[in-house]
Amino acid sequence: MKRPFEPSRWVAQDGSQKLFLACPIFEVLYHGTRGPGKTDALLADFLKDVGRGYGKAWRGILFRRTYPELKDVIDRARELCMLAFPGAKFTDKPPQIRFPDGELLMFRYAERLKDYQHYHGWQVGWLAFEELCTWATLELYLKLFGIVRSSHPEVARIARVRSTANPLGPGHGVVKRRFTLGGSNHTRIILDPDSGLKRCAIFGHLRENKILLAADPDYEKKLIAACKGNPNYLKAWLRGSWDATAGGMFDDLWDPAFHVVETFKVPAGWRIDRSFDWGSSHPFSVGWWAQSDGSDYVDSAGNVLATVRGDLFRFNEWYGAEPEEHNVGLKLHSHQIAEGIIERELAMGINERCLPGPADPSIFTETDGKSIATTMSQMVRVQGTQFKGPTFTRADNSRVTGWERVRTMLGNAKPGPEGMREHPGLFVTKNCLKFQDLFPTTQRDIERDPDDVNSDTEDHLQDEVRYRCKAATLGAVSSGRVAGPAGDADRSGLSRQRGEGRVTWR
């Protein structure tokens, strides 16, 4: 039997590389800054079990999203494998490395869920994804867990899933949520409540890679130059921060300091309505909106805040998704969703006040003479009492112009050079956690249409927001009723602290 892969041939560096190679948990993500040696560690994780007597039972497959992306990792794999196992043989079609005792490391590309069919029925002990954030969703990643199996008892015991990632990219949001990343970058272990399996995220930093920095002392400076002063790329590449947003539809505009506000009681003169995006197997999304008539409002912290006539505030939401699943809906019937909407509006005290708002045009399509919209508008029973179900208007589904309207209103929420706001902006209250989770990392469809959102991502909430913003006219749609003081302050963007007489910029 050949000798197994040993540190004398490739030395794992102290810190995250050694931690990654020693981790016994089934699913591990190695993430962090650029340059800690994640790819080397990923390949070494497969090689450490070559030559241990498993023979043909030890099979691994490493995925990248497209074939051209495989080239660098294949070149590095050949270098490491031939160094440790001179008898290993590489073939180009298909790309794979066969080891002297029969072990096999395969390199494949797969982009979408439908590509799973090429691998259904396979058995591998080692499944790996290089640059996990390049996939817009985790559907393919998770479905391929089903091929991680072996009839060899020792291989079955050590079978595992490994991946690497940098923050940013189409899958930034879904990877962040699966591994509960953000804030501190400490290594964390998560127990999946459904499967009972553990998953782990291990953070690596460029400064751990002594070999790279010795060979290229200016590498960190090169990264800084490559960021071109973009603070989000600096946060992602230099600090490995999952709180960075870049390359998305709204990250050049989104700023929680301006867009996220304290909760408040909606003034009597403001319009209240709801928007809706339908989903059953995929999530549905309901948003409740307050549209200002230009009057001030008082938030839950006691601050008196001025508004521009037409400002939109998302003050509550209901996102119909399985909490531990990606892009999986609750599979509720339309009548059940209608009951849930009315139940929530009663709890908020707005049932009699909430007006019809824009909804997914698909709910107005009739099948056998009836539509989802019609079903939802029928009488529902909540807490033993009959109520009329929610009604909607057909949304304008113009995607590109809709996204541009959302961007415009995000921009309008920020004061101009002199601290003035003159046009209706878009705001969200702090309790709308799903919005704050999904919206800021919304990805553009770079390959098909950069002016549209990548529809392969989880975009149901974003569509629902688009419907409401497209329904608003930037000249403001108002009930015509006025509550509270009005005047110059309506356009100032000023926040007045109650009882203190101080004036601060929002």
pLDDT digits 0-9 by tens, 314-334? 999 999 998 867 788 999 999
Could you tell me which residue, 236 or 496, shows the higher pLDDT?
A: 236
Phi–psi pair at 102, nearest 5 degrees: 105, -10
0.75 exceeded by pTM: no
> How many C-beta atoms surround the C-beta of residue 481 within 10 A?
12
Which letter does DSSP use for residue 208 in this model?
G
Helix (H) or strand (E) holding 2: none
Q: Answer whether residue 278 shows pLDDT above 60.
A: yes
Give pLDDT tens digits for 236-247: 889 998 887 666
In this structure, of 51-60, 166-175, 478-487, the range with the lowest mean pLDDT score is 478-487
pLDDT band at 391 (very low <50, low <70, confident <90, very high): very high
Q: Answer whether residue 495 shows pLDDT above 70.
A: no
Domain ranges in the chain? 16-239, 256-505
What is the CA angle 106-101-51, rounded to 5?
90
Residue written as token pair 């953070």: 203
Alpha helices in 308-442 (DSSP H): 334-348, 372-377, 399-412, 433-438
Q: Is it true that domain 16-239 has CATH number 3.40.50.300?
A: yes
Q: Answer whether residue 89 shows pLDDT above 70.
A: yes
Which letter does DSSP use for residue 347 in this model?
H
Predicted local distance difference test score (pLDDT) of residue 265: 96
Could you tell me which residue, 501 or 432, shows the higher pLDDT?
A: 432
Q: Answer whether residue 18 shows pLDDT above 90.
A: yes
Task: Determine the topology of domain 256-505 in CATH.
Answer: Nucleotidyltransferase; domain 5 (3.30.420)
Q: Answer whether residue 494 shows pLDDT above 80.
A: no
The answer to whether the beta carbons of residues 284 and 278 sit under 8 Å apart is: yes
Predicted local distance difference test score (pLDDT) of residue 169: 82
Predicted local distance difference test score (pLDDT) of residue 5: 47
The answer to whether the beta carbons of residues 419 and 492 sit under 8 Å apart is: yes
CA 269/CA 483 separation, integer angstroms: 5
Q: How many helices (H) and strands (E) does the chain have?
A: 16, 24
Average pLDDT for residues 199-221, to the nearest whole number?
94
Phi–psi pair at 41, nearest 5 degrees: -65, -35
- Percent of all residues in the chain with a pLDDT value above 90, rounded to a whole number: 69
- Residue of 415, 372, 409, 406 lying closest to 390 (CA atoms): 372
